[in-house]
Structure formats: structure tokens, C-alpha cells
Structure 1
Amino acid sequence: MIRLWQPRIRRQAHREVRDQQHNLWVHFRGWFGFNAAAGSSDDGRIRSLSQPLHHPYPARLLEARHHGASEQELRSIVADGVGESYFRVSPGPDGLHAVRLTEIDYIEFSY
């Protein structure tokens, strides 16, 4: 992967996104959807989406990334954030994830 910014500049930009509660845009192509019955319009399928991650998801994602979270943990944070923005659902009270994001062809973030 090509890194466009120097590490110090990137950390500063991430700090601004986190501290000032800015949105972070995610652009991806991957299997995304609810754990729904087959044939449902919300059933998971390959989707190409560009969605904003609203507060608190950018901060959670950047903190997890900087603390060495696994790909699965990062993917869950993105899925929850996009699910809230796209489907208007939040993770359950027990932290159960309503949507999943797998089989990612590409993923890109912008802020």
C-alpha cells in the first residue's frame, strides 16, 4: 500500500478527526448486510458503498488501529458505523453486531 503522508502528519490528522469529532468517509466493495433471512432486501450481498462514519466510530476506529486491533475488530467497527449510517441501526445493547462486513475487495478512507 502506498503511504501518501508522513507518519507524524497522519497522526496529527487522526488526532484532529478523533478530538474534533469529524466524520470519516469509508469507500468499499465487499459483502455487507444484516444476518437476515435469504431473499430479504437487507440480506448480505456484495455492495459498493461510500458512507460517512459518524461520531463515535471514527475515534473508535483510529484508536483501535493505533492500539494494534485485529482486522476482525476493525472490520466490526466499520460495519457498525456503516450500518448505522446506511441502514439506520445501532449495535445491540449487548454489543451484538446487527450487520457484517466481509470479503472486502477494497476499502479506502477519506477525511
Structure 2
Amino acid sequence: MEREVKRRWQPKVRERARRKASTTDGLVLSARARFGFTAAPGTTDDARVRDIIQALPPDWADRLFTAREQGATEQQLQRIAAEGLAEMYFRANNTRAHGLGVEFTDIDRVDVGL
């Protein structure tokens, strides 16, 4: 009985959470990875391991969920996450550092919270 309830209930709960994240709430991305961008050696812009917790708006949540549903590879999903982090964390929702390209490598962990 428990297995059957979970089989029917879980997809509905997950779809509701996905829809909410993709339309109103967004998601929170927590990552420990090497982040940085092209800069002169020795500057604070050099890539280094960082722990970042960043809220991403609904459009980024939707991009991640849609890509996953369409069979995106782990590398493709990581690229989308990196673009979202670049826009929201490093470029402050594109209000500064326009055109800044961010490196997202040596990923230790990535967690997504809804």
C-alpha cells in the first residue's frame, strides 16, 4: 500500500514544486566549486574554490528543469547553473560587470533547494 501511494503521490508533489519554482519562487543553488573569471594572475579575480549559496529566479529554475526533462547531460546542467550563478552572483542580476564570463570547474558539490 505504501509503495503504491508513493508511486501516485510523489509525481504530483514534484510537479507542483517544479511549477512553483519555475513560475514564482525560483530556487536556491548551493555549490562548492572553483569559480572565477579571466583576470591577471594574482588578482582576486583568479579562479578559486568558493562556497556560494545563491537564489536563482524562476526563469533559471525553468531552464534547469526543462533541460533535465529534455535529457540534458550533467555537463549541460552544470553549464546552465554556472550561467545562472554568473548572472545573479557575480554580475548582480546584470547590473554590474557586464560581459563577465565565469568559470565553474572542479565541482565538489551542488545542491538545489526549492
Q: TM-score interval w.r.t. the shorter chain?
A: 0.7 to 0.9
Select 1:86's aligned residue among 85, 89, 94.
89
Query: Could you say what the CA RMSD is over the residues aligned between the two structures, in angstroms?
Result: 2.2
1:61 and 2:64 are equivalent in the alignment: yes
Select 1:22's aligned residue among 15, 25, 31.
25
CA distance in 2, matches of 1:109, 1:36: 29
The equivalent residue for 1:12 is 16
Q: Is the 8 A contact 1:76 1:100 kept in 2?
A: no
Amino acid at match of 2:20: E
- Paired residue total: 102
1:34 and 2:7 are equivalent in the alignment: no
CA distance in 2, matches of 1:39, 1:54: 33
User: Alpha-carbon deviation of 1:42?
Assistant: 1.9
SS at match of 2:109: strand
CA distance in 2, matches of 1:55, 1:36: 31
CA distance in 1, matches of 2:43, 2:58: 29
State, as a whole percentage, how many aligned pairs show the same letter.
Answer: 40
Amino acid at match of 1:35: T
> Which structure has the larger Rg?
2
Q: Is the 8 A contact 2:82 2:104 kept in 1?
A: yes
The equivalent residue for 1:48 is 51
Name the CA shift for 1:67/1:50 in 2 (closer, same or farther; >3 Å): same
Structure 1-normalised TM-score?
A: 0.78
Q: Which residues of structure 1 form unaligned runs of 5+?
A: none
Q: Is the 8 A contact 2:39 2:45 kept in 1?
A: yes
Q: Which residues of structure 2 form unaligned runs of 5+?
A: 1-8
